Chains A and B, each alone.
Chain A
Amino acid sequence: MTAGIAVDIGLAALVAAMALWTILVRDAYAAVIGFIGYGLLLALVWVRLDAVDVALTEAAIGGGVTGVLLLRAVGALHRGAAPLEDGPPPGPATRRIAALACAAVAAGLAFVVLGVSGPAPTLAPLAAEHLPATGLKNPVTGVLLAFRALDTLLEKVVLLLALIGIWSLSPDGAWGGRPTLGRPGRASDTLRFLAQLLPPVGIVVGIHVLWVGANAPGGAFQGGAVLAAMWILAMMAGLSPVPAIGRPWLRAALVIGPLAFLAVGVAGIFIADGFLAYPPAFAKPLILAIEAAITLSIAVTLAMMVAGPPQRPGAP
Chain B
Amino acid sequence: MPAAALDPGLLLVLAVMLPATGAVAALALPGRWAGRIAFGLWPLGLAVAVAVAWTVWAAGAPLHYAVGGWAPPLGLMLRADGPSALMLLVAAIVIGAAGLYARADLRPEPGATESRAAVVFWTLLMALWSALNAVALGGDLFNLYVALELLTFSAIPLVCLGGSAKTLQAALRYLVFALVGSVLYLLGTALLYGAYGTLDIVLLSGRAGPEPAAILACALMIAGLAAKTALFPLHLWLPPAHAGAPPAASAVLSGLVVKASFFLIVRLWFDVMPGLSTAAAANLIGALGAGAILAGSVMALRQARLKLMIAYSTVAQIGYLFLMVPLLFGVPQAEIAANAAWSGGWLQLASHALAKAAMFLAAGLIAEAAGHDRIHGLDGVGRAVPVAVLAFTLAGLSLVGLPPSGGFAAKWLLLSAAVATGQWWWAVVMILGGLLAAFYLFPVIGRAYADGTAAFARPRDARSREFVVLALAVAAALLGLSQLYPPGLLRIGLGSGLAGAGVP
Contact = CB atoms under 8 A, between A and B. Distances in A.
Interface string B146-165: 11011001101100110101
Contacts of A273: 1, 4, 68-69
Contacts of B173: 86
Closest 9 CB pairs between A and B?
A121-B197, A273-B69, A175-B116, A161-B153, A276-B68, A165-B157, A168-B120, A168-B157, A277-B69
Interface in B100-150: 113-117, 119-120, 123-124, 127, 130, 134, 142-143, 146-147, 149-150
Given A150-B76, A154-B146, A158-B153, A108 B216 contact: yes
B197 A255 contact: no
Given A120-B195, A172-B115, 5 more contacts: A116-B213, A155-B149, A161-B157, A169-B160, A175-B119
A161 B194 contact: no
Interface in B1-52: 1, 4-5, 7, 10, 13, 16-17, 20-21, 23-25, 27-29, 31
Contacts of B168: 84, 169
Given A112-B216, A273-B68, A316-B113, A148 B143 contact: yes
A274 B27 contact: no
Contacts of B198: 121, 123
Interface string A253-292: 0110011001001001110111111100000000000000
Interface in B184-228: 184, 187, 191, 194-198, 212-213, 216, 219-220
Contact of A126 (B17, B65, B73): B73
A255 B123 CA distance: 13
Interface of B: 1, 4-5, 7, 10, 13, 16-17, 20-21, 23-25, 27-29, 31, 65-70, 73-76, 113-117, 119-120, 123-124, 127, 130, 134, 142-143, 146-147, 149-150, 153-154, 156-157, 160-161, 163, 165, 168-169, 172-173, 184, 187, 191, 194-198, 212-213, 216, 219-220
B153 A151 contact: no
A255 B25 contact: yes
Contact of A157 (B24, B66, B70, B161): B24
Interface of A: 82, 84-86, 105, 108-109, 111-113, 115-116, 120-123, 126-127, 130, 146-151, 154-155, 157-158, 160-162, 164-165, 167-172, 175-176, 246, 251-252, 254-255, 258-259, 262, 265, 268-270, 272-278, 316
B68 A277 contact: yes
Given A150-B68, A161-B154, A276-B68, A172 B76 contact: no
A258 B75 contact: no
Given A157-B23, A161-B127, A274-B66, A262 B116 contact: no
A157 B7 CA distance: 25
A262 B21 contact: yes
B144 to A, nearest CB: 10
B67 A149 contact: yes
A161 B194 CA distance: 30
A275 B13 CA distance: 8
Contacts of A276: 67-68
B254 to A, nearest CB: 20
B121 to A, nearest CB: 9
A251 B113 CA distance: 15
B267 to A, nearest CB: 18
Contacts of A175: 114-116, 119
B248 to A, nearest CB: 15
A138 to B, nearest CB: 16
A187 B398 CA distance: 62
Contacts of B28: 251-252, 254-255, 259
A122 B17 CA distance: 30
B406 to A, nearest CB: 32
Contacts of A160: 23-24, 27
9 contacts: A120-B197, A121-B197, A122-B197, A154-B147, A161-B127, A164-B124, A169-B157, A254-B27, A265-B17
B264 to A, nearest CB: 16
A108 B16 CA distance: 36
A176 B114 contact: yes
A108 B213 CA distance: 9
Contacts of A120: 194-195, 197
A147 B74 contact: yes
B152 to A, nearest CB: 9
Contacts of B31: 176
A308 to B, nearest CB: 14
